[in-house]
Structure 1
């Protein structure tokens, strides 16, 4: 009981910018002496800090001491191992961003990628001033991670059987968590944007592949073996009538590669596609229109499967050309009169990293399964 109460008190402190022992006692229905005892333990561990006096009650008396989570207790790291780049972020315990960056990992082996991760980790370990230093690391995987924290499917990066989690745990002796990239985007929306105000939601991430993260009753739904949300592998017919996974036709990379071939432009990238689309290039327009049609159907079907409150779309292509998102929204409404709420995420790479921050923080505080809401982003 003491351990459970301690977790609830810590959660309550974390989820409020400021609070007091009296407020915690009222909210949780715990005896004031119990809260004070737990608070003293947290204070001695330097997990919490005092930040001045609150208002006295209407009956007068001493002013209560305002308390909050001690952001300087330590920091977490998040890494997103994508096809071309390693994106990374360092956050203080309360989620405030210390630094966000990226490094190229084109044509690098998993051993080389791990070495880069270690160099970044060591750099922050040496430069971030905090009480306890590194508290945890979360790695975003563009593939399937099972319930044993094993990578069972990775279409873009060859992990060569290397147990990256065990390697990093042996090196840094902190929690190391692997999670699917789209799942982390869903965690970000739940913890940083909605802060548990929407119990059911779906995120769809469209990058090199297509994936979704599913939140049901405020919990991440991973399925029997971590395969839930693999919407990119949904079958659809191409122009020749052949059944293919939808991400082979309508991911961002699929569109770019198709246009590279059609236009004979080997150096074509997202910026070039958007430029030609805005200029009215007919071949680009055809490719984008097919993308709009297929993704709209995928979004609609996803909403029907899970009866979700909202669907959040993370797509660098749509960020560069917001009119594509607008056309998808209109197309979804045309499929059937419905109340699906579509929201376009901005800076979707950062969304994944902040989801990783939340996961690492939950593990560092031993509050896995406890709702933690993060404040404004820095």
Structure 2
């Protein structure tokens, strides 16, 4: 067995830096990488030749010559067709899924109904989709990895310790999928993945700290501190839906029991004796000034604004990102939340509404699994340029 020397470790570290630099630019050159990283040109060229032989990178024409003239450099970039990743978001009503090339380019995005299905049935649907993409996506290496978005708590051992909406029934999806398809499989909380999406697809590291709050069937948040996902001691960081507030009777209750989308729907269904109520009908009732809907949404605005303000103060961030299908259906609700947040402390909190929260989660999952596929876990990857 070959002994790993300090020279080998340095070579591995330099390879990762070069690969990261190539990924983080739409295209670059070996000379530019050498300047940016402070590495010897021969070192960069040697690593590039190795990456090219593996077909991880490709050449895309000539760049501009330097101001002193000479031979034009060759532009290079990450080779998207090297392989693809798959992401699955296991929500309450639907299984959302997406296929992406290595550079993050979306190949396909869709969903399948899973309401009241067992985890075994959901697992079968996941297998069907994986097999579909294995036979339809053309690439060099094929499937590179799978990320599963969980609406619950995932600890550092990749165990689902809390799942309020889906009973996983001791089904170890990570182990089963990994052994069946022989690729890395990662589980992560849905709100955490939304925060990763904001960091890697939107912010591109301009802000070191940010909070992304997801308001769906429950309420959760993903926290980025110093550009890294903060998961807490047991993976429970960001469980803001369990924040206590007072209900109409003056009793302390988790805020998601009052302000999640399902809480609003259930409240109006009970008060008005309605069935088959959904977010779009709630929005119609609110816009038509139906008193019960107005009261429910006004309470939502007050409570969510307080939650956003407090979260911003806790983590000292000037940027808060909100993923809420209800607010996507009625942007005026978001506008009122934003006004109320500013009124609470006359603060300068930047509030941003995510326009497609389901896609945000899947793209965050794409980023997470791409880090594993490239062996760049812990390295910053900028998907906005690819």
Name the counterpart of 2:5: none
From 212, 224, 245, the equivalent of 2:221 is 212
Q: 1:54 to 1:376 in 2, by over 3 A?
A: closer
Q: Residue 16 of structure 2: which of 3, 7, 10 is its match?
A: 7
Which residue does the alignment assign to 2:251? 242
- Please report how far the alpha carbon of residue 309 of structure 1 lies from its aligned counterpart in structure 2 after TM superposition: 2.2
State the alpha-carbon separation in 1 of the partners of residues 292 and 384 from structure 2: 44
Structure 1 equivalent of residue 345 of structure 2:
336
- Partners of 1:60 and 1:300 lie apart in 2 by 55
Which residue of structure 1 aligns with residue 333 of structure 2?
324
Q: Deviation per CA, 1:314-359: give whole Å up to 9, x if none.
A: 0000011111111111111111111111111101000000000000
TM alignment of 1:159-238, pairs within 5 A: 159-238=168-247
Partner of 1:308, secondary structure, is coil
Give the match's secondary structure for 2:75: strand
Runs of 4+ in 1 over 6 A off after TM superposition: none
TM-score (norm. length: structure 2): 0.97
For residue 376 of structure 1, report the CA deviation from its aligned partner: 5.6
- Report the Cα distance in structure 1 between the residues aligned to 2:66 and 2:344, rounded to whole angstroms: 56
Where does residue 271 of structure 1 map in the other structure? 280
Residue of structure 2 in register with 1:281 after alignment:
290
Q: Is the 8 A contact 2:24 2:385 kept in 1?
A: no
Q: Which of 42, 47, 55 in structure 2 is aligned with 1:38?
A: 47
Q: Which residue of 1 aligns with 2:127?
A: 118
Find the residue that maps to 2:176 and give its secondary structure: helix
- Quote the residue 1:60 is aligned against: 69
- Equivalent-residue separation in structure 2 for 1:236 and 1:144 (angstroms): 22
Of 294, 304, 309, which aligns to 1:295? Answer: 304
Kindly tell me: are residues 376 and 5 of structure 1, through their superposed partners in 2, closer, same or farther at Cα, counting changes over 3 Å? closer
Confirm or deny: 8 A CA contact 2:26 2:385 kept in the other structure: no
Q: Give CA-to-partner distance per residue, 1:21-45, whole Å, 9 cap, x none.
A: 0000000000000000000000000
Deviations 1:44-71 (A, max 9, x none): 0000000111111122221111100000
Report the equivalent of 2:164. 155
Query: Where does residue 48 of structure 1 map in the other structure?
Result: 57
TM-score of the two chains, using structure 1 as the length reference: 0.99
Deviations, residues 265-284 of structure 1 (Å, cap 9, x unaligned): 11111110001111111110
- 1:20 equivalent in structure 2: 29
Structure 1: distance between partners of 2:194 and 2:264: 23
3-state SS in 2 of match to 1:118: helix
| Cα distance between partner residues in 1 of 2:312 and 2:192 | 17
What CA distance in whole angstroms lies between the structure 2 residues aligned with 1:24 and 1:313? 36
Offset, 1:375: 2.6
Instruction: State the superposition RMSD in angstroms.
Output: 0.8
SS in 2 for 1:131: coil
**Separation in structure 2 between the aligned mates of residue 376 and residue 182 of structure 1, nearest angstrom:** 24
What is the CA–CA distance in structure 1 between the aligned matches of 2:320 and 2:88, rounded to whole Å?
24
Shift, 1:263, TM fit = 1.2
Structure 1 Cα separation of the partners of residues 108 and 58 of structure 2: 23
1:87-98, aligned counterparts within 5 Å? 87-98=96-107
CA deviation after TM superposition for structure 1 residue 224, in Å: 0.6
Q: How many residues matched?
A: 377
Could you tell me which runs of 5 or more consecutive residues in structure 1 were left unpaired when the two chains were aligned.
Answer: none
* Structure 2 counterpart of 1:371: 380
Distance 2:353 2:145 in 1: 30
Aligned-partner Cα distance in 2 for 1:34–1:309:
41
Task: State the shift of 1:235 in Å.
Answer: 1.0
Deviation at 1:237, TM superposition (A): 1.3
